[in-house]
Structure 1
Amino acid sequence: MEAKKILKDLVAINTIADKDNNRIMDYIDSFLSNLGFEIERKKNAETGKEVLIGKYGENPAIGFLGHTDTVDITDGWTTDPHELTEKDGVLYGLGACDMKGGIAAFLSAISETDLSKLQKGLAVYCTYDEEIMFGGVKDLVDAGTKFPPHVIVAEPTDLIPMIGSKGLIEYIFTFKGVTTHSSTPIDGKSSNKNAVKFLNRMMDFEQELRKTPSPFFRVPYPTMNIGIIEGGTSINKVPDKTTVYLDFRICDSEREYPLIRKAVDDAIEGLDGTYEIINDIASFRNNSELVHVYEEKTGKKGQPFFGITEASFFEGDRVILGPGPMTAHEANEHITVESLDKTAEIYSDMIQMLCGK
């Protein structure tokens, strides 16, 4: 089936914050079942949202992964966000770029393939809640899902092969103190002052981290961001609780993660503080021979992805590749017909290359 027709169907399903999660999974289930796929759907007991796993044949050699949720509608749309609109070779619609276009492309590629002639199997993974908490891919990983040797994550990349991304560690720190009037402070018992001392130590550490560059990344060194600081209720009261949110974007998890953990433990010592790690996502870089294949097919050099995608949650050979331009989360979100069709063509080529021999 033509990718544009599939995309039209997908855009018409409202999956803002996974609103119609079951409906879009029903659509993909029916589509793949009609092609002979075996379908497994896993429902999260707490949220009621589903992930879908589709498999054709034995021992899949390639997998396609896509999230079905979208962000909310922003101001400034000039077309109906839930109706795919084509103007001058451009397709407008909520999720057309991020990332129903990629899903439409791989469903189209699969439907145009003579599956009976494949020597190896293939798999499809459709998830939910990528935009906020990565709940769907976490469900797959927690269930012990075994991914194929090669996986294409169909995020929008404007047909640039994205072959890696930085890792992420997110911390919440809590510092305790003793509340008194500001005229009678107890030495060492201001939670705000303890937090500031800690942050000064960590900013010194950040400069040390930067001394080992990683030219592969656009920002070629690890970074630390102080996202939120909450502490105190009045200008004349010594605060008794301060919360600090930090994130680290890491170039090489194997080398940098132990350094960060030690720096945190050393910096917090003696400051009446505790911490919780709320996200711990490893960095990755694909150095396989398939990178050159994608570069040849797209005419574009492989690059690291600028943020975190579902590719960061499982191991193995994976590439992030999808249509463009990259207009995710924008008013009048769109991709071009040419890019959509080219994406489907590359996906078809990879199925034949990895499964047809």
Structure 2
Amino acid sequence: MSQPIPSLLTMMHELLSEISVSSTSAQWDTGNRRVIDKLAGWLNSLGFQCEIIPLTNRGNKANLIATLGSGPGGLVLAGHTDTVPFNEERWDMNPLALTEQDNKLFGLGSTDMKGFFPIAIEAAKSFLEQPLQQPLIILATADEESSMDGARELAAQGRPKARVAVIGEPTDLKPIRMHKGIMMEAITVVGRAGHSSNPALGNNAMEAMHVVMSDLLAFRAQLQQRYNNPLFDVAVPTLNLGCIHGGDNPNRICGQCELHFDLRALPGMDNSEIRYEIEQRLKPLAAQLNVNISLRSLVKHIQPFEQNPDSELVKYAEQLTGHSAAPVAFATEAPFMQQLGMDTIVMGPGSIDQAHQPNEYMALNQVQPAVDLLRQLIARFCL
């Protein structure tokens, strides 16, 4: 028999109380071990075999693989334990606590996505006395909100292994089988500074960047001619020129300029191939303009995700929810679950509209339906 563990809402409160911010800025970034250790303690008391796997060279961050039962197939219920940074002064309540108000559960990570774990645990409790034919795995990852290094390391390690995976990101309990990829890149142009009174004294990097930007926009138009998926609200790949920095004074020829851009590829496109195309376009521009042009990745690429609409997992999720599996604009760890050989969907309680902002909440009326939905998935793929 399992040892008593806290109630669902108490578990949610305890998880939200542990800060686990993931950020590319060292000022904000923290570890997630206290969240992982708390989850492992609860799951271990329920009879799960728990393995805590620290991230390489980052001892304060770890993944958790908690397994109930054994066998070659089974179901992974996956989520990330980190949150985005937050501004406490913009919250109407304590972000590091669970506040129940107006039939909503407020708190940082309530919907994105610490709140998924107590729901998964509550669903799993119904199967503790039943012999599972295939394993149930609860997977908790690190650093989804910044590098996705937790999921990347798991994919590289080849674990966990199961037949299907459900990632509990907030989708209002509707199945998601597609999303776009992400690549964020920086282009740096180095010219030659000089006195602005005589253009011949230098080579203006900002003017060269103007040519580069025009070429990027032409490339965007070509991509949008080549690729289209009407299932997405934005049916074409996007390329956003996000920020630009260059020069230091009006009376000095700009010697260096840097542009950051974001490209969202559709399923069927490959980030590496797109990046290679961009590199090949930049080379003749550098020669033409007599400047140095370099391209570097700001974050590791996330490939587009697509699950076969005819897979058993998709069909069963559609049957359970009454909703057709759809695409979303945001990215998830789904491509890494697919790398592990699992049919994968994204489906969880809460709305993505509430994520990454003050007063984040999960609607209380989604909690029990989420528990019931996960119970049905466990019964289908583990019994």
Fold match (TM-score > 0.5): yes
Q: Does 1:6 align with 2:16?
A: no
Q: Does 1:330 align with 2:343?
A: no
For residues 231-250 of structure 1, the aligned pairs below 5 Å read 231-250=246-265
Match of 1:27 in 2: 38
Do 1:175 and 1:191's aligned partners in 2 also have CA atoms closer than 8 Å? yes
Match of 1:276 in 2: 296
User: Deviations along 1:244-263, whole A, 9 cap, x unmatched?
Assistant: 21221001344676355324
Match of 2:25 in 1: none
Do 1:189 and 1:240's aligned partners in 2 also have CA atoms closer than 8 Å? yes
Taking structure 2 as the reference length, what is the TM-score of the superposition?
A: 0.85
- Of 302, 310, 318 in structure 1, the residue corresponding to residue 344 of structure 2 is 318
Structure 1: state its 5+ residue gaps: none
Q: Post-superposition shift, 1:188? A: 8.7
Q: Post-superposition shift, 1:99? A: 0.7
For residues 171-182 of structure 1, the aligned pairs below 5 Å read 171-182=185-196
Q: Aligned pair in 2 of structure 1 residues 253, 264: CA closer, same or farther (>3 Å)? A: farther
Question: Hey, what's the Cα distance between the residues in 1 that align with 2:350 and 2:343?
Answer: 23
Question: Hey, what's the Cα distance between the residues in 2 that align with 1:259 and 1:78?
Answer: 44
Match of 1:43 in 2: 54
Q: Post-superposition shift, 1:20? A: 6.1
Q: Post-superposition shift, 1:189? A: 3.0
Taking structure 1 as the reference length, what is the TM-score of the superposition?
A: 0.91
Q: Post-superposition shift, 1:216? A: 1.7
For residues 116-265 of structure 1, the aligned pairs below 5 Å read 116-186=130-200, 189-211=203-225, 212-254=227-269, 258=273, 261-265=276-280
Q: Post-superposition shift, 1:187? A: 9.0
What amino acid maps onto 1:10 in structure 2? L
Match of 2:307 in 1: 286
- The range that moved more, 184-193 or 291-300, is 184-193
What amino acid maps onto 2:334 in structure 1? A
Partner-residue secondary structure (3-state), 1:167: coil
What amino acid maps onto 2:373 in structure 1? I
Partner-residue secondary structure (3-state), 1:210: helix
Question: Hey, what's the Cα distance between the residues in 1 that align with 2:100 and 2:196?
Answer: 64
Q: Post-superposition shift, 1:319? A: 1.0
Match of 2:26 in 1: none
Match of 2:289 in 1: none
What amino acid maps onto 1:329 in structure 2? H
What amino acid maps onto 2:36 in structure 1? M
Q: Post-superposition shift, 1:73? A: 4.1
Match of 1:94 in 2: 108
Q: Post-superposition shift, 1:126? A: 0.8
Q: Aligned pair in 2 of structure 1 residues 225, 187: CA closer, same or farther (>3 Å)? A: farther
Question: Hey, what's the Cα distance between the residues in 1 that align with 2:248 and 2:359?
Answer: 42
What amino acid maps onto 2:82 in structure 1? D
User: Deviations along 1:200-223, whole A, 9 cap, x unmatched?
Assistant: 111012112112321121100011
Q: Does 1:297 align with 2:311?
A: no
Q: Post-superposition shift, 1:342? A: 0.9
Question: Hey, what's the Cα distance between the residues in 2 that align with 1:134 and 1:259?
Answer: 21
Question: Hey, what's the Cα distance between the residues in 2 that align with 1:36 and 1:153?
Answer: 22
Question: Hey, what's the Cα distance between the residues in 2 that align with 1:228 and 1:104?
Answer: 40
Do 1:4 and 1:337's aligned partners in 2 also have CA atoms closer than 8 Å? no
Q: Post-superposition shift, 1:232? A: 0.8
Do 2:313 and 2:344's aligned partners in 1 also have CA atoms closer than 8 Å? no
- Of 332, 338, 343 in structure 2, the residue corresponding to residue 309 of structure 1 is 332
Match of 1:62 in 2: 75
Partner-residue secondary structure (3-state), 2:252: coil
Question: Hey, what's the Cα distance between the residues in 1 that align with 2:210 and 2:31?
Answer: 45
Q: Post-superposition shift, 1:354? A: 0.8
Q: How well do the aligned residues superpose, as a CA RMSD in angstroms?
A: 2.3
Question: Hey, what's the Cα distance between the residues in 1 that align with 2:206 and 2:161?
Answer: 46
Partner-residue secondary structure (3-state), 1:108: helix
Partner-residue secondary structure (3-state), 2:9: helix
Identity percentage of aligned residues:
28
Q: Post-superposition shift, 1:150? A: 1.0
Partner-residue secondary structure (3-state), 1:225: strand
- The range that moved more, 307-316 or 92-101, is 307-316
Q: How many aligned residue pairs are there?
A: 356
